[in-house]
Structure 1
Amino acid sequence: MQAYFLRPRHCVFTIPEELRSFFLNDRSLLGELFYSVRDAILYMFSKMNKIENFTPGFVCVLHSFGRDLKWNPHIHALISEGGAGNITPWRIVKHFDYTFLRNSFRKVLLNRMSKHIGPSFKKVKNEMYTKHSNGFYVRVKPNSCTPDKTIKYITRYICRPVIAASRIDKYDGYSVTFHYSRHEDDALVTETVPLLVFIKRLIVHIPENISKSFDTMEFMQNITSKKKISENAFPVRNVGSYVPYLIWKQSILLTFGYDPLRCPKCGTSMLVLEV
């Protein structure tokens, strides 16, 4: 089981350009984006066998900008190529249902946005089903690099700046010239924009104090009495509701070689106050 938990699939969940302004004007919708990705992943694994209701492990990272620095919120997810079931301790899953993920992600996200925004969103919601009849874009291709490189690639997104200094080619006091590789064809693009436009593209990505850029989901569970999917069933902060913490502690220790309950600063063992 450990070998395949350490072989995550790197997936990217992207929202259409027509919806991006909603997330810019109301940053709390970014939380709905996290939950929508979570639900789509869990539904895909669960439908493989409803009795087993397989649960994967995954880490989600929010990325708010595209290569051109414009507002483009999307989620990078590392998903284990396998899941734990109600009966089977672990089943390897190599095939990710691309079509199902696209349609499920579209449905869940639009429903959550509709509930959050209200009746005024109904027209936009209907238009999204018409314009994006094949669902919202989800990249689920198998990784072409080793697991450690994939994990390092994702961790960069947690603290990565909007643009590296090496991509800024020129500044003359009035405008800024920078370059990037276009996502569609990997072609090199050079763009020159007024200074204030450049600054605006940067500061729009400054997160609010209450926001978060990543979330972790747990695959461990009590296989004899697994609960149904609920709003707070899978974040690690609520792992106690799913698995005895000692089993969780031992699994982390065996898999990653460190005690998750030991304080990295003082070395003392922390106590689980709430399960």
Structure 2
Amino acid sequence: MNVLQKIFLDHYEEILYTLHPRNTEVENIDKMINCGVPSFGGAMYACTHCGNLKFVPFRCHSRFCPTCGNKYAMERTTSMSFKLVNVQHRHCVFTIDENLRNFFLQDRSLLNCLFHSVSSVISRMFFKLNRAKHFTPGYIMVLHTFGRDLKWNPHIHCLLSEGGYSDDGFWRHVKHFNYNYLRNAFRTALLNELEDRIGPSFKKVKAQCYTRHKQGFYVHAKPNLCDPNVVAKYIGRYLGRPVIATSRIDRYDGDTVTFHYNRHEDDQYVEETLPVMDFIKRLIRHIPEKHFKMIRYGGLYARHRKMDSKLHRVISKEKHRIYRSFTQWRTCILLSFGYDPLHCPNCNHKMELLELYYNHKRVPLEELYEKAMSKSRGMRSSA
């Protein structure tokens, strides 16, 4: 049991009766707490050479779980990498006025407005390059609702191609982005869409945003080392990470939790201690609604669009099978921790799958081992 599981297990009833979590929050908390519990099933592996047994419990597959969240990030990174065109890309971050954040917390359907606004701004920016040829870029948008301090801070990370593909098969490279246009257009697009959704009561807030942000909302879109050779790693680092890793939790004494982060503004190391319920509240608010898409594709990367044969991808279709193997459990452990989990420690042979257990009743683990041991003997005698 990792430290995050212990925190939530210790305060499970208090969470239900004091925080009144949403249904999707309860579902993900339950999954995370029971992640890796042997009584919920698993796979038994056996070494056919020496008879050594190893039981690997099933995981919860929740993005909220730090363990499964990392695997989910690797899967999404691989999936996104398959779509990328072999051109330079730029990492853009679209942020909002802090006074708008609470609107998205109270009504999570408004988070769709962030995606719509970013998509419309990018499309219009490239349309202005040449209206006749209609240049279309490729972009991937990922919603982050958290900052490094775990506070509610919805913003969009966008991986955008430095150029667009025209209707007549011509690629135009765009090296210089109009930052003033991006900032002002994003502010206008988002505020207009929020006013349409919220109604006349939003007009006062909208006017205040224009007064405070005369240069538009902050958009980071400076050139960076996002070339095709490292773009897959770049995606994994910035676009697919879970809310918090257990390595960032330094201490838990039952009443308080201490965690650390490097402050975004100056990269200063910060250590913060919170009452345990405040820490839990900060975490669970970042659990998205069920079926809400946190990653969306646009332009050349839109799901409905077929890729032109003239465009070359970063990863060819022939290599898809190789890259997909990186998301398998065994390969993930090997890449992350440097050891093969199916390597028998006794005789250095590869362990084979013996049996799967789908048993959600609390059965003593010794019974599973005893049953598997008899099967293992049968495997060795037949070998």
TM-score per shorter chain, which class?
0.7 to 0.9
Residues 1:122 and 2:203 are matched in the alignment:
yes
Instruction: Supply the AA of the counterpart residue of 1:256.
Output: I
Report the Cα distance in structure 2 between the residues aligned to 1:157 and 1:4, rounded to whole angstroms: 19
Report the Cα distance in structure 2 between the residues aligned to 1:238 and 1:88, rounded to whole angstroms: 18
Question: How do residues 132-147 of structure 1 correspond to structure 2 at under 5 angstroms?
Answer: 132-144=213-225, 146-147=227-228
Q: Secondary structure at the match of 1:217?
A: strand
Instruction: Supply the AA of the counterpart residue of 1:97.
Output: N
Q: Shift of the alpha carbon at 1:157?
A: 5.1
The more displaced of 26-35 and 45-54 is: 45-54
Report the Cα distance in structure 2 between the residues aligned to 1:253 and 1:187, rounded to whole angstroms: 41
Aligned partner of 1:188 in structure 2 is 269
User: Aligned in 2, Cα 1:88/1:257: closer, same or farther, shift over 3 Å?
Assistant: closer
Q: Shift of the alpha carbon at 1:60?
A: 0.6
Residues 1:209 and 2:294 are matched in the alignment:
no
Q: Secondary structure at the match of 2:303?
A: helix
Residues 1:54 and 2:113 are matched in the alignment:
no
Misfit runs of 4+, over 4 Å: 2-5, 156-159, 249-255
Question: How do residues 95-244 of structure 1 correspond to structure 2 at under 5 angstroms?
Answer: 95-144=176-225, 146-156=227-237, 159-219=240-300, 236-239=302-305
Between the two structures, name the one with larger relative contact order (CA 8 Å, sep ≥ 6): 2
Report the Cα distance in structure 1 between the residues aligned to 2:174 and 2:240, rounded to whole angstroms: 30
Instruction: Supply the AA of the counterpart residue of 1:104.
Output: A
Q: Which runs of 5+ in 1 are unaligned?
A: 220-234, 240-244, 265-275
Report the Cα distance in structure 1 between the residues aligned to 2:317 and 2:207, rounded to whole angstroms: 49
Q: Secondary structure at the match of 1:238?
A: coil
Q: Secondary structure at the match of 2:188?
A: helix
Structure with the bigger percentage of helix: 2
Report the Cα distance in structure 1 between the residues aligned to 2:314 and 2:257, rounded to whole angstroms: 47
Q: Secondary structure at the match of 1:185?
A: coil
Q: Shift of the alpha carbon at 1:156?
A: 4.5
- How large is the Cα RMSD of the aligned pairs? 2.7
Report the Cα distance in structure 2 between the residues aligned to 1:11 and 1:32, rounded to whole angstroms: 17
CA contact (8 A) 2:157 2:239 kept: no
Report the Cα distance in structure 2 between the residues aligned to 1:17 and 1:147, rounded to whole angstroms: 34
Question: How many percent identity over aligned positions?
Answer: 55
Report the Cα distance in structure 2 between the residues aligned to 1:49 and 1:145, rounded to whole angstroms: 25
Instruction: Supply the AA of the counterpart residue of 1:188.
Output: Y
CA contact (8 A) 1:60 1:78 kept: yes
Aligned partner of 2:23 in structure 1 is none
Instruction: Supply the AA of the counterpart residue of 2:315.
Output: F
Report the Cα distance in structure 2 between the residues aligned to 1:19 and 1:254, rounded to whole angstroms: 38
Question: How do residues 238-257 of structure 1 correspond to structure 2 at under 5 angstroms?
Answer: 238-239=304-305, 245=306, 248=307, 250=309, 256-257=315-316
The more displaced of 19-28 and 79-88 is: 79-88
Aligned partner of 1:45 in structure 2 is 126
TM-score in terms of structure 2 length: 0.58
The more displaced of 156-165 and 197-206 is: 156-165
Aligned partner of 2:15 in structure 1 is none
Instruction: Supply the AA of the counterpart residue of 1:123.
Output: K
Q: Shift of the alpha carbon at 1:158?
A: 5.3
Question: How do residues 56-75 of structure 1 correspond to structure 2 at under 5 angstroms?
Answer: 56-75=137-156
Instruction: Supply the AA of the counterpart residue of 1:103.
Output: N
Greater radius of gyration (CA)? 2
Q: Which runs of 5+ in 2 are unaligned?
A: 1-82, 325-383
User: Aligned in 2, Cα 1:206/1:254: closer, same or farther, shift over 3 Å?
Assistant: closer
Q: Deviations over 1:158-192 (max 9, x none)?
A: 54221111111111111011111111111111110
CA contact (8 A) 1:5 1:82 kept: no
